[in-house]
Chains A and B, each alone.
Chain A
Amino acid sequence: MSRFEAKKPSLCKSEPLTSERVRATLSVLKGIVTSCYGPLGRLKQLHNSLGGSVCTTSQSSALLANLSVTHPILKILTTSMQNHVSCFSDCGLFTAILCCNLIENAQRIGLTPSTVIKLNKHLLRLCISYLKSEACGCRIPVDFSSTQILLCLVRSILTSKPASMLTRKEIDHISTLILRAFLLTIPENTEDHIILGESIIVPLKGQRVIDSTVLPGILIEMSEVQLMKGLPVKKSDSLKVALFCASLSGDLSDTGEGTVVVSYGVSLENAVLDQLLNLGRQLVSDHVDLVMCQKVIHPSLKQFLSMHRVIAVDRVGVALMEPLSKVTGSQPIGSLGSISPSSYGSVKDLCTAKFGFKHFFHLIPNEATVCSLLLCNRNDTAWDELKLTCQTALHVLQLTLKEPCVLLGGGCTETHLAAYIRHKTCNEPESILKDEGCNQTELHLITEAFCSALESLAASLEHDGGEILTDMKYGHFWSLQADSPSIVNWPDLLSRCGCGLYNSQEELSWSFLRSTCHPFAPQTCLPHEAAGSANYLTLDCFTAKLNGLQVAVETANLILDLSYVIEDKN
Chain B
Amino acid sequence: MVMACRVMNERRHMGLQQLASFAETGRTFLGPVKSSKFIIDEERHESVLISSTVRLLESLDLTSAVGQLLSEAVQAQNNTYRTGTNTLLFLVGAWSSAAEECLHLGVPISLIVSVMSEGLDSCIEEVVSLQVPVYNVFDHMDNTKTFSGFETFSVSLGPFHQIPSDAGLIQKKHNLKDVASQSLTIYNLSGRPVKSPKLFRHQAKVEVDKDTSQTPQTLKNSLLADTCCRKSILIHSRHFNRTDNNQQMSKPDGFLEQHGAATPTTYRCNDLVELEMGLSHGDHSSMKLVDDAIRLQYQNASMQQGNRTMPFMFDISRIFTYCLPGLPEAFSCVCPGYITVTSISSTTLIKELQNQPVRVVLIEGDLTENYRHLGFNKSANIKTVLENTKVQQDSSEELWITHVLQVLSKFNVNLVLAQGNVSDHLIEKCIHSKRLVIGSVNGNVMQAFAEASGAVQVAYVTQVNENCVGNGVHVTFWGSIPLDVVDMVDRMTIMLNTEGINLVTVVLTSPVTAHMQAKEDRFWTCAYRLYYALKEQKVFLGGGAVEFLCLSHLQILAEQSLNKRNQVCSGWLRNTSSWLASSLALYRPTVLKCLASGWHRYLSTLIYNTASYSSEFEASTFIQHHLRNAVDSGSPSSYILNEYSKLNSGIFNSGISNKLEQIARVYDIVTPKIEAWRRALDLVLLVLQTDSEIITGLGHTQINSQVSEGFLFL
Contacts and interface: CB of A to CB of B under 8 A. Distances in A.
A486 to B, nearest CB: 16
Given A255-B379, A466-B580, A380 B696 contact: no
Contacts of B616: none
| Majority secondary structure of chain A interface residues (helix, strand, loop or mixed) | loop
Interface string A210-252: 0000000000000011001000000000000000000101111
B569 interface: no
Contacts of A49: 63, 65, 695, 698
Contacts of B698: 48-49
A42 B381 CA distance: 55
Most buried by B among A25, A45, A162: A45
B483 interface: no
B577 A260 contact: no
Interface string A195-208: 00000000001111
30 contacts: A39-B574, A45-B65, A51-B68, A70-B714, A71-B714, A228-B447, A249-B376, A249-B377, A260-B379, A262-B384, A268-B379, A268-B382, A299-B460, A299-B463, A300-B459, A303-B458, A314-B375, A378-B679, A379-B682, A382-B682, A410-B575, A463-B109, A464-B108, A464-B111, A466-B578, A480-B579, A481-B583, A493-B579, A495-B581, A497-B577
A303 B77 CA distance: 37
A380 B570 contact: no
Contacts of A426: none
Given A67-B714, A68-B696, 11 more contacts: A28-B713, A66-B696, A69-B714, A251-B376, A259-B381, A260-B381, A300-B459, A378-B682, A379-B73, A379-B679, A495-B577
Interface string A433-459: 000000000000000000000000000
A129 interface: no
A54 B693 CA distance: 10
A493 B584 CA distance: 12
Contacts of A261: 383-385
Nearest to B691: A42
B1 interface: yes
A167 to B, nearest CB: 6
Contacts of B467: 307
Contact of A50 (B63, B374, B691): B63
Most buried by A among B121, B577, B682: B577
Contacts of B450: 228
A74 interface: yes
Contact of A206 (B76, B447, B685): B76
B382 A500 contact: no
A345 B244 CA distance: 70
B486 interface: no
Interface stretch (B2-10, B208-216, B293-301, B547-555): B2-10
Contacts of A35: 691-692
A112 interface: no
Contacts of B571: 168
B387 interface: yes
A464 B574 contact: no
A381 B75 CA distance: 13
Interface in B671-714: 671, 675, 678-679, 682-683, 685-686, 689-698, 712-714
A500 B376 contact: no
A46 B696 contact: yes
Nearest to B374: A296
| Majority secondary structure of chain B interface residues (helix, strand, loop or mixed) | mixed
A378 B450 CA distance: 35
Interface in A340-392: 356-357, 378-382
A341 B66 CA distance: 56
B625 to A, nearest CB: 33
A167 B679 CA distance: 12
Nearest to A205: B76
Interface of B: 1-3, 5, 9, 62-63, 65-66, 68-69, 72-73, 76-77, 79-80, 108-111, 113, 117-118, 121, 364, 372-379, 381-387, 392, 443, 447, 450-451, 456-460, 462-463, 467, 570-571, 574-583, 671, 675, 678-679, 682-683, 685-686, 689-698, 712-714
B447 A224 contact: yes
Contacts of A208: 671, 675
A538 B693 contact: no
A464 B690 contact: no
A562 B308 CA distance: 82
A69 B65 CA distance: 21
A32 B386 CA distance: 69
B714 A29 contact: yes
A24 to B, nearest CB: 8
A53 interface: yes
A231 to B, nearest CB: 16
A314 B459 CA distance: 15
Contact of A260 (B111, B383, B457): B383
A258 B577 contact: no
Contacts of A247: 375
Contacts of B581: 495
Contacts of A117: none
Contacts of A264: 384-387, 392
A298 B689 CA distance: 50
B108 A32 contact: no
A29 B694 CA distance: 11
Contacts of A74: 714
Contact of A296 (B373, B463, B712): B373
A464 B579 CA distance: 10
Interface string A52-75: 011010000001001111110010
A228 B452 CA distance: 12
Given A224-B447, A255-B382, A495-B582, A295 B463 contact: no
Contact of B460 (A44, A228, A300, A496): A300
User: Top 7 nearest A-B pairs by Cβ distance?
Assistant: A296-B375, A299-B459, A464-B108, A42-B691, A68-B1, A206-B80, A51-B63
A377 to B, nearest CB: 9
A533 interface: no
A498 interface: yes
Contact of B682 (A54, A165, A295, A500): A165
Contact of B110 (A257, A266, A464): A464
A53 B713 CA distance: 21
Contact of B577 (A31, A71, A263, A410): A410
Contact of A163 (B117, B387, B686): B686
A531 interface: no
A466 B579 contact: yes
B693 A45 contact: yes
Given A251-B378, A466-B579, A45 B463 contact: no
B469 to A, nearest CB: 13
Contacts of B457: 225
Contacts of A465: 108
Given A35-B691, A228-B450, A67 B65 contact: no
A206 B113 CA distance: 22
B109 A464 contact: yes
B72 A44 contact: no
Given A465-B108, A466-B580, A493-B582, A252 B379 contact: yes
Nearest to B388: A264
Contacts of A228: 447, 450-451
A130 interface: no
Contacts of B69: 45, 54, 56, 379, 381
Contacts of A46: 693-694, 696
Contacts of A205: 76
B690 A45 contact: yes
Contacts of B382: 252, 255, 259-260, 262, 268
Interface in A1-55: 25, 28-29, 31-32, 35, 38-40, 42-51, 53-54
Contacts of B686: 43, 56, 163, 165, 381-382
A465 B579 CA distance: 10
Contact of A378 (B376, B463, B575, B675): B675
